[in-house]
Amino acid sequence: MIELRPFAGIGHAHHGWLDARHHFSFADYHDPARMHWGNLRVWNDDTIAAKSGFPPHPHRDMEIVTYVRTGAITHQDSLGNKGRTAAGDVQVMSAGTGITHAEYNLEDEATTLFQIWIMPTRGGEAPGWGARAFPKGDRAGQLVVLASGYPQDTDSLPIRTEARLVAGTIRAGETVTYPLGAARKGYLVPATGRISVNGIEAQARDGVAIADEDTITITALDESEVVLVDTL
């Protein structure tokens, strides 16, 4: 089962400094048919104006993954962590028993990112934060695990849920496959380009909800950057 969710039809909120698109119900956008996809709870496509950002606010019991598309985001939290995550790189915040954080675009240009929330399958643990550079050249022509709750994915950022964040860059005409498994769910967004997913065409920033598929076959119709969450 593959359901295309065109970018033009997802939730939208413009706050001046923040232009947010919501693949799932979030804040004032509510769609009872799109509350979550398996353990994936939030996929926001955010554009944050220069010299602005999210002031300090709390979270708990959520795995929050930020995939920076252009620009950079600077993180600060109540644990004393501070770091800048640039385009192509990833940060993970495990809210655990509770954390307060702020996310600022301190750059001279707008920052675009995917903000992804996944419900944890482990609870009661202390909060944590981490970030890592993932050069896009290392993902050329293949899908690479960037964040994972599985110990065998040793080159990824750890998250406290039975899920993976996977990304890759694919040249026009190239095909890559991903072994999802029929018991799992996938949600895929081409950050750029145009792709076909098991024969269903998707444009940049469309959502592709996948279930009951053993294998995902992705063909780039144009040069494309794809991001996938694989979850229960």
Could you write out the three-class secondary structure of the chain? Answer: CEEEECHHHCEEEECCCEEEEECCCECCECCCCCCCECCEEEEEEEEECCCEEEEEEEECCCEEEEEEEECEEEEEECCCCEEEEECCCEEEEECCCCEEEEEEECCCCCEEEEEEEECCCCCCCCCEEEEECCCHHHHECCCEEEEECCCCCCCCEECCCCEEEEEEEECCCCEEEECCCCCCEEEEEEEECEEEECCEEEECCCEEEEECCCCEEEEECCCEEEEEEEEC
Q: What is the pLDDT of residue 4?
A: 98
For the chain, give every domain's residue range.
2-231
Give the pLDDT confidence score for residue 138 in this predicted structure. 86
- Amino acid of residue 52: S
Could you report the per-residue pLDDT of 175-215, keeping only the tens digit for each?
Answer: 999 999 999 999 999 999 999 999 999 999 999 999 999 99
Beta-carbon count within 10 A of 108 CB: 8
**Regarding the domain delimited by 2-231, which CATH topology (the fold level of the hierarchy) does it fall under?**
Jelly Rolls (2.60.120)
Taking only the tens place, the pLDDT of each residue in 141-166 is 999 999 999 999 999 999 999 999 99
CA max distance for the chain: 47
